[in-house]
Structure 1
Amino acid sequence: MAIENIPEIYTNRFQEGTDLFIYDFRVTHNVVKSKVNLSMNMFSFLQVGSKYVHIADAAVAVNEHQSLLIPKGNCLWTELLNQDEVYFCKLLFFSEDRLCRFLNTYNFRQEPVSEDNSYFIIENDAYMALFLQALAKLEEPHTGFQKQLLSVKFDELLLYLIGKYGQRFIGYLFTMVSNEKSPFKTIVERHMYSNLKLEEIAFLCNMSLSTFKRHFLIEYKEPPGRWLQDKRLTRAREVLQKGDVKASDIYDDYGYSNLSNFSIAFKNKFGISPTDIG
């Protein structure tokens, strides 16, 4: 699957060095685990549909009643339609330099935060609805006046969210200007119970598959395929032993394309079929 460089691929409206950029994204078909390289931080204001994002060390799902803020870097996007409707998401991209100017202008200071998330979910409200209406008028900021107005609206949005979420949001903004990257092991272990393939986890680590495998051997002393299978099957057995679900309900959650393959791997490891647990 090709890597999409965003927002660069969004028409010739995007110019290198742009600090703020708006784009209305629409699709008429489901998009599953699209590989994306974000060169800017991004607000995703979902209007119609649902969205799932795998970021370096986390995964998050949002609906049309929520907005999502994520940092630049590699991620996997899944965008799903609501029945026969068009998927519609308004995107607001901003550079690290623009965020730094905001933090410096209003003299915010970094303080320790209790959470360490790779994303920030915003619950939409009346203000957000009005903000998006205003943003729709600024989708073609060709003039200096429109660019200045977009800059003012960006500051307004951040100030509103700081008022709504307080120090938790300020702390998250500071994580977006940090030069620290998520450690390799953190990314791997956040996704070890997911259904992501090796190449998808490697992508989130910003590595080729061959580099990822070499690095994995150094860190864990065994091949990643065997290690992940062991972790996922062990977790699957724990889930089945609780008796709330059947093997047919969970095989996809742990990276298996069908029940038969899951059952064979499970029996090879534990000597018992997953359907016999209960």
Structure 2
Amino acid sequence: MLIENIPDTFISTPKENQDLFVHDFKMTTDTLKTKVNLRMNMFSFLQVGKKQVHFAGTSVAVNKDQSLLIRKGNCLWTELLDTERIYYCKLFFFSERILKNFLQEHILDPFEHRKEAPFFTIENDQYITSYLDSLSSINDYPSLLSDKFLSVKFEEIMLYLIGKYGNGMKSYLRSLIVDETSTFKEIVERYIYSDLKLEEIAFLCNMSLSTFKRHFINEYKVTPGKWLIEKRLQKAKLLLEQTQLSPSDIYMEIGYNNLSSFSTAFKNRFGFSPKDFSKSASV
């Protein structure tokens, strides 16, 4: 799977030390788990459709009533069309340098009390709708005036969100100027029961698949494939023993894409099918 370097792929004529950039992103087909190397912090103002983002250690899903402020770094994007068969969001990228300048000007002790998180969820409202309408007019301005216009609009949205979310937003903005990452084990164990492939988990760890496997074996003393299968099947066994759930109820919860592959893996591990085990456990 190719890695999208964002916003590089959207910029036709890059500028040296570009601090701000706006892009209207539209699609007419769904995209699932696109590997993204986000090189700048970014607002994703969702207008139409749904978006899910996997980060190292957590994930978030939003609809058209919400937007995201996302920290730069590696992540996986899933973007889904709505009933009108379209996806549209306005992306507003900003550099760490311009954020530092803003924090130093507007926030006392800008580097203290950081909230470490890869995203901040924003509830869309009438002000944000009007703000996006005004942002769209940037295409009508000459290049030099456009840069100045964007600087004003960046400061405007930042001050508005601080007013709306208070200390929570201040804390999040401070966290964007430091390079905080989850530990290897935190990332791996966050996705034990997800449907992410090893290659995708490795990407979130900022590693190639081969490096990830070597690091995994050093950490856990077993290959990642064997470790994940054992963890998932042990959880399945526990669920079938202690709940009234059937095999068809749990296979997706523990990271399998279909019931058949789950049943085969379960029988290979425990010697009988999950359906037979479920019956015996209920007796």
Counterparts of 1:140 and 1:270, CA distance in 2: 67
**Which structure has the larger Rg over C-alpha atoms?**
2
Match of 2:186 in 1: 186
**Could you say what the CA RMSD is over the residues aligned between the two structures, in angstroms?**
2.1
Of all paired residues, the percent bearing the same amino acid is: 54
Equivalent residue number for residue 6 of structure 1? 6
Check conservation: 1:51, 1:63, Cα contact below 8 A. yes
Residue 72 of structure 2: aligned partner: 72
2:81 counterpart letter in structure 1: L
The more displaced of 242-251 and 198-207 is 242-251
Correspondence 1:1-278 to 2 at 5 A:
1-109=1-109, 110-112=111-113, 116-139=116-139, 142-240=142-240, 243=243, 245-276=245-276, 277=278
Using the TM superposition, give the Cα deviation of residue 193 of structure 1 relative to its aligned residue in structure 2, in angstroms.
1.9
| Counterpart amino acid of residue 50 in structure 1 | K
Structure 1 stretch displaced more, 265-274 or 86-95: 265-274
Q: Which moved more, 1:41-50 or 1:173-182?
A: 173-182
Per-residue deviation at 1:15? 3.1
Instruction: Give the Å deviation of 1:14.
Output: 4.2
Question: Structure 1 pair 229/11, CA: closer, same or farther in 2 (3 Å)?
Answer: same
Counterpart-to-counterpart distance in 2, 1:265 and 1:142? 62
Q: Which runs of 5+ in 2 are unaligned?
A: none
Whether the aligned pair in 1 keeps the contact of 2:40 and 2:96 (CA below 8 Å) is yes
Moved more, 120-129 or 13-22: 13-22
SS at match of 2:263: helix
Q: Deviations over 1:76-117 (max 9, x none)?
A: 11111113421111111111111111101113324436x643
Which shifted more, 91-100 or 241-250?
241-250
How many matched pairs?
A: 277
Output one character per residue of 1:233-252: Cα deviation in whole Å (capped at 9) or x when no partner. 33344445564754334434
**Cα deviations by residue, 1:37-69 (Å, 9 ceiling, x for unpaired):** 111011111111101111122111010000011
Query: What letter matches 1:179 in structure 2?
Result: D
Query: What amino acid maps onto 1:269 in structure 2?
Result: R
Helix, strand or coil: the match of 1:29?
coil
* 241-250 vs 208-217, which moves further: 241-250
